[in-house]
Amino acid sequence: MRLNPATEALYESVVGRNPAEAEFHQAVAEVLQSIQPALDRRPELREAALLERLCEPERQVMFRVVWTDDSGRAHVNRGFRVGFSSALGPYKGGLRFHPSVNLGVVKFLAFEQIFKNALTGLGIGAGKGGSDFNPAGRSDGEVMRFCQAYMTELHRHIGPQTDVPAGDIGVGSREIGYLFGQYKRLTNRFDAGTLTGKDLLIGGSLVRPEATGFGTVYFLDAMLAARGHSLEGRTAVLSGSGNVAYHAIAKLHELGATAVACSDSSGYVHDPEGLRLDVLHEVKTVQRRKLDAYAEQVPSATFVRGRVPWDVPCDIALPAATQNELGESDAISLTKNGLLAVAEGANMPCTPEAIRIFQEADVAFAPGKAANAGGVATSALEMQQNASRDRWSFAETDKRLGETMRAIHDTCLATAEAYEQPGDYISGANITGFLTVADAMTTLGLV
Ligand code: NDP
Ligand code: 2IT
């Protein structure tokens, strides 16, 4: 690790004070490493325990969530919400419902969100939350009762000026609807700006469902253009087949690329003729089934059980499922097959070893905190619409999303260049996000 002794000591203290939180350590290590050129140039940013404050969440809430299944049996899950930084605005970030959720996972996600949200330039702080509740196979009624039980505690800690949750893995507009319904009931207020990712009927924004996937492809398009390439005629492989992957596939197809493989937790589907969005929607969103059902319906498709999709040859890899899902051997196989670019739709999907392989092979690499910032950026647009009781058209909102993603791309590239890391979007994103939040923290005094 390229850390100077002071930063190394801080990293060791983060590890020591937060044991068994490997994903959080990983996220902190990457940021501390890549902001080093900024710290060298602006040594005053080491003062006032600024880095120590940046690595310590402002607050963390953990609570018991008790709910009953359809047979009346009681279940206990754990709920989390971490407010990491409110230097730039109210805590903002999604809720994840997945059995793998623990405090370390929530903290890594909230930490990443600090820099991502700063990059949007839209005045949002950083938080994340969720539960180890597993929605797979649960009925609508069970999901609703879980959401109500979760919100029964969470409502004390959130609000339009305090903390504004949204969706993430396992939390889409259905869950946000149930969460908002309970929030409204408990507080006796229709405070639409407390949650984003809402259905249009209850104050949601057009483009928010598409925003993360579309935004990732807008960023990818700008990154390819900066290298003199385009998406036209390219082949793409994605992981995941949820909100982010689905809308990324739609935008890839619209811009002339072909997505030939995507995955879920059961395996991956390879369709050399191009993935069919209608079938994906029916299988994953309507029926909530696994991808073998896609291959049952599409003769050109093959389902590969229990494997990740990274050995399918492609020009573009778009990991859009979960953290550390693309490792060194996957990166080797992708680069051997002539990979041109990677854009992280998910948060921290590529391991540090995989990223090193991409960098050595001169593969263009867009880190999640830049590439997938379109989701939270459009959440901020939803907050603006809620605050002004206005509704923007699809075209207007999509235009704002496109402009935001291109601005993030250009800023990351320019910052990387200014700090002598040309073409390194990881440095560009981390340094830009860090300087923005660090300057705001200094302005706010020692709080
Ligand atoms: P969804 O729940 O809609 O979809 C998740 C997809 O990833 C599903 O296909 C799921 O498979 C698969 N998946 C999830 N966990 C695992 C796992 N441990 N192993 C294998 N496959 C897994 O979530 P999103 O699409 O919203 O989120 C995907 C990623 O994008 C996450 O990393 C999230 O943090 C990130 N992200 C999301 C944003 C948003 O606006 N939603 C914004 C920015 C980033 P299965 O269907 O079998 O469960
Ligand atoms: O990781 C993310 O940026 C999200 N899950 C979206 C957060 C949001 O508040 O829209």
Helix, strand, coil in percent for the chain, rounding step 5: 50, 15, 30
**pLDDT surpassing 90 at residue 3:** no
Domain residue spans of the chain: 5-54, 59-190, 209-371
pLDDT tier at 400 (50, 70, 90 boundaries)?
very high
Task: Tell me the two tokens of residue 363.
Answer: 């593969």
Mean pLDDT for the chain overall: 98
pLDDT of residue 4: 87
Across the range 165-192, mean pLDDT stands at 98
Q: Which of 108, 164, 344, 372 to mutate to test the pocket of ligand 2 (most atoms within 8 A of CB)?
A: 372
DSSP conformation class of 285: I
Q: Is the CB of 322 under 6 A from ligand 1?
A: yes
pLDDT of residue 6: 86
Least distant ligand from the CA of 289: 1
Task: Tell me the two tokens of residue 202.
Answer: 């209850």
pLDDT of residue 263: 98
Does CATH number 1.20.1260.10 belong to domain 209-371? no
Give helix 425-444 / helix 22-34 axis angle, nearest 10°.
90
**pLDDT surpassing 60 at residue 1:** no
d(CA 360, CA 332): 11
Per annotation, catalytic residue among 128, 198, 290, 369: 128
Q: What is the pLDDT of residues 290-345, one digit of tens each?
A: 999 999 999 999 999 999 999 999 999 999 999 999 999 999 999 999 999 999 99
Q: Considering the chain, what percentage of its residues have pLDDT values greater than 70?
A: 100
Q: What is the pLDDT of residues 92-138, one digit of tens each?
A: 999 999 999 999 999 999 999 999 999 999 999 999 999 999 999 99
Spell out where 240-380 has E strands: 258-264, 267-270, 302-305, 316-319, 341-343, 364-366
The reply to whether 209-371 shares the fold of 59-190 is yes
128 tagged catalytic: yes
CATH number of 59-190: 3.40.50.10860
Q: CA 162 from chain center: how many Å?
A: 21
Question: Residue 390 class from Cβ within 10 Å (0-12 exposed, 13-18 middle, 19+ buried)?
Answer: exposed
Q: Is the CB of 321 under 6 A from ligand 1?
A: yes
Give helix 103-120 / helix 394-418 axis angle, nearest 10°.
90
Task: Tell me the two tokens of residue 17.
Answer: 């004070």
Q: CA 445 from chain center: how many Å?
A: 30
Determine how β-strand 126-131 pairs with β-strand 74-85.
antiparallel
